[in-house]
Amino acid sequence: MDLENETMVQEFVLAGLSQTSSGQAGLFVLFFFFYVLTWMGNVLIMVTVASEARLHSSPMYFLLGNLSFLDLCYSSVTTPKLLVDFLAEKKLISYGECIVQLFFLHVIGAAEMFLLTVMAYDRYVAICRPLHYTTIMNRGICCVLVIASWLGGFVHSTVQTILTVRLPFCGPNQVDNFFCDVPPVIKLACTDTFVIELLMVSNSGLISTSCFVVLISSYAAILVKIRSKKGRSKALSTCGSHLMVVTLFFGPCIFIYARPFSTFSVDKLVSVSYNVITPMLNPLIYTLRNKEVKAAMRKLLYQKQKNEE
């Protein structure tokens, strides 16, 4: 195909989640409520961890604060545009904005995968090597691991973005989702993308699957090492919140990215779950199942009320 005579696509049309005006109005209210809860929950965790010295000095809560920041950023990559599109007649996004959205989606998404893996390692050290915990997971090491998570996400996303921008787009221009992501976007390229799809699946799929295997292996090692039933019960209680977050985040990501880029009817619903729902649920999961966080939040609220008086 002679691509030099083809017209470059200047903007994409997003399929969205609903085509009826009444459906879009209802979804706007619902997703706006979700987004507000996401901001409130994650900001509350970050403020609580930062203001409570005991939590701020703990590696586990330091990592939790960073996870909340990532959740907030991840949701903000797609949700504001989704809310605007609910009120717009045409759901348009320029080519440049689409690539930027795709880039930051994968930077933050991969960084969160790596950070969740780091959090699993933190729990492994805390339970299996408690006497060496403060030495192994000191503040310097935690900062290095957080920075490494961001760098890993940046490298991953750069590869994905470069492979995408090198493709020619000459029409059609309708993205079969409510945001720009690699699978639906490269399907619009007017060239054979088989090799590119294999490279991207091996990249994204390998990261998500390998991180998930490491996470499950670390918790299996914890349960094997702890012999007593009481000890295993305590370990599961301690790690339960993290396991729930891992399942909610990695399950949909593996479903979307660790398979060939074929389209399924549930893809949009799965995308909603890990782009909108999971960042909102993470603060609730960690708050409701963690006595220390709840105690610190009550203390913070009491201090605020006292200052107002």
Tell me the DSSP string of 181-193.
Answer: -HHHHHTT-SS--
Cα 208 to Cα 250: distance, rounded to the nearest angstrom = 7
Asked if pLDDT for residue 245 goes beyond 90, the answer is: no
Name the 3-class secondary structure at 289: coil
Residues 6+ apart with CB under 8 A from 93: 11, 12, 14, 81, 101, 175, 180
Cα 96 to Cα 82: distance, rounded to the nearest angstrom = 17
Instruction: State the average pLDDT for the chain.
Output: 85
Beta-bridge partner residues of 14: 175
The average pLDDT across 65-90 equals 93
- What DSSP state is assigned to residue 13? E
Question: Strand locations in the chain, DSSP E?
Answer: 11-14, 92-94, 174-175
Cα 34 to Cα 30: distance, rounded to the nearest angstrom = 6
pTM of the model: 0.89
Handedness of CA 143, 145, 151, 153 (dihedral sign): negative
Structural domains in the chain, CATH included, are 3-308 (1.20.1070.10)
Nearest-CA neighbor of 78 among 115, 46, 103, 44? Answer: 103
Asked if pLDDT for residue 223 goes beyond 50, the answer is: yes
The top-scoring range by mean pLDDT among 39-53, 73-87, 128-142 is 73-87
Name the 3-class secondary structure at 94: strand
CB atoms within 10 A of CB 151: 13
Name the 3-class secondary structure at 77: helix
Could you identify the residue written with the tokens 């780091």?
118
Name the 3-class secondary structure at 93: strand
pLDDT at 1: 44
